[in-house]
Amino acid sequence: MNVAQIMKERMSFSFEVFPPKQDKPVEPLLDTLDHLYKFKPDFVSCTYGAGGTNAGRNVEICKAIKDSGKTIPVTHFTCIGNSKEKIKRELQNYLDIGVDHILALRGDYPKGWEGTRGDFNYANELVEFIKVHFPQFTIAIAGDPEKHVECHSFDEDISHLRVKQDCGGDYIMTQLCHDVDQFQWWRDRLIESGITLPIDVGVMPVLAKDPTIRMAVSNGSGIPRDLAEVIGRYGENPEDFKKAGIEYTVKQIYKYMNAGIDGLHIYSLNKWEDVAKIVNKSGIRKMHN
Ligand code: FAD
């Protein structure tokens, strides 16, 4: 069964990891993955550096996930800086190593770039290209419950998401959104606009003050009152912050599950110990040895 089919049958559960930099060893991430597999995730996704930076490491990690036989690898893939020919070569390479799930993205522009400097300007063009040339892939598309930072209105952003669905997206993976009410409002707007794909909700664990604020700001994501309280009360004490952040993340997962979501995707930040605490406390999955 592919991931979209799983999500139509029951709530999927998954993790995201990112590849280490070229000059860093891969073993710590492989160890993290071994721990994450114990939760029997339906899939593990691996990020891809827009502009192709570190693409080799992404392939190495996707292959390691595939070769583990433990779960489905989903590669992220961006069209920034990529020509059609290069995209064809890279996609064929994924298929050759047994990776047939992809999150098709435009990508964030590297510093100093204007435009994609590639053959595609937006993710919908990449989705269409994959659907035509590589129909073997199950394709995820990105959605922003708080609207993509560059877009002027929700209506426009949602109509762009609809185009990605119509071009062949199989399911939606969301940007981090701490505000579950906002997510539910957005999901209703998607339904009104004819978007019927299952939605996999991305949850960013709250573990340290500065990254929590930085990621919210860079993704245009709001900080609701209960998270602001954690930041205000524990922001100067990293240990207490992490404890309160883990509690906060667990509560957020409960709220999402009560909202009846199709999938829950935890951005692991490559930290299995903290993530295991969150998964165990929220009772989503039991750890298997
Ligand atoms: P698009 O769908 O192309 O949208 C980009 C912007 O253009 C939006 O504002 C949209 O409204 C607008 N738009 C879309 N189509 C049109 C059109 N036809 N005309 C005019 N405007 C249009 N980035 C990475 O570099 N590597 C990763 O591994 C990565 N992983 C991610 C994982 C998830 C789950 C998510 C949600 C995001 C991830 N990103 C990653 C970030 C993502 O690349 C950025 O959010 C990027 O800025 C937009 O990508 P997109 O695929 O949503 O682009």
Secondary structure E strands in 156-228: 171-174, 199-203
Coil vs helix vs strand at 232: helix
Q: Determine the Cα–Cα distance for residues 120 and 107; give it in Å rounded to an integer.
A: 11
Q: Is the pLDDT of residue 277 over 90?
A: yes
What mean pLDDT do residues 166-182 have?
98
Q: Is residue 232 situated within a structural domain?
A: no
Q: What pLDDT shows up at residue 149?
A: 94
Q: Is residue 221 situated within a structural domain?
A: no
Q: Is the pLDDT of residue 105 over 80?
A: yes
Ligand 1 centroid to residue 147 C-alpha, Å: 11
Read off the tokens for 231. Answer: 């930041």
Q: Is residue 69 situated within a structural domain?
A: yes
| Most ligand 1 atoms within 8 A of CB, residue of 12, 45, 59, 122 to mutate | 122
First to last CA, the chain: 24
- 287 or 12, which is more confident: 12
Q: Is residue 239 situated within a structural domain?
A: no
Q: Determine the Cα–Cα distance for residues 13 and 73; give it in Å rounded to an integer.
A: 13
Number of domains composing the chain: 1
Q: What pLDDT shows up at residue 16?
A: 98
Q: Is residue 217 situated within a structural domain?
A: no
Ligand 1 centroid to residue 124 C-alpha, Å: 9
Collect all residues with Cβ–Cβ distance below 8 Å to 227 and sequence separation of at least 6: 178, 206, 212, 248
Q: What pLDDT shows up at residue 113?
A: 82
Residue 250's pLDDT band (cuts 50, 70, 90): very high
Which residue type occupies 224? Answer: P
Q: Which residues are near ligand 1 (CB < 6 Å)?
A: 47-48, 50, 76, 78, 103, 105-108, 122-124, 142, 148, 150-151, 156-157, 160, 164, 173-175, 202
Distances (CA, A) of 44 to 18, 51, 74, 102: 10, 22, 6, 11
CATH code of the domain in which 139 resides = 3.20.20.220
Coil vs helix vs strand at 216: helix
Task: List, for residues 184-202, the tens digit of each pLDDT value.
Answer: 999 999 999 999 999 999 9
Q: Is residue 235 situated within a structural domain?
A: no
CB count within 10 Å of CB 264 equals 22
Nearest CA to 91 out of 122, 129, 43 is that of 129
Contact 127, 87 (CB under 8 A): no
Contact 223, 213 (CB under 8 A): yes
| Cross-strand partners of 174 | 143
Q: Is the pLDDT of residue 286 over 90?
A: no
Contact 250, 174 (CB under 8 A): no
Q: What pLDDT shows up at residue 56?
A: 87
Residue 55's pLDDT band (cuts 50, 70, 90): confident
Lowest mean pLDDT: which of 14-18, 39-43, 68-72, 280-284? 280-284
Ligand 1 centroid to residue 148 C-alpha, Å: 7
Q: Is residue 267 situated within a structural domain?
A: yes
The interface pTM score, or ipTM, of the predicted complex is 0.99
Q: Is the pLDDT of residue 52 over 80?
A: no
CB count within 10 Å of CB 253 equals 23
Q: Is residue 234 situated within a structural domain?
A: no
Is 16 known to be catalytic? yes
Q: Name the percent of the chain lying above pLDDT 90.
A: 90
CB count within 10 Å of CB 129 equals 20
Q: Is the pLDDT of residue 287 over 80?
A: no
Q: What pLDDT shows up at residue 172?
A: 98
Q: Please calculate the CA angle 189-15-80 and round it to the nearest 5 degrees.
A: 70
Residue range of the domain that includes 65? 3-207+248-282
Pairing type for strands 138-143 and 101-105 reads parallel
Q: Is the pLDDT of residue 110 over 90?
A: no
Which residue type occupies 176? Answer: L
Ligand 1 centroid to residue 107 C-alpha, Å: 5
- 160 or 289, which is more confident: 160
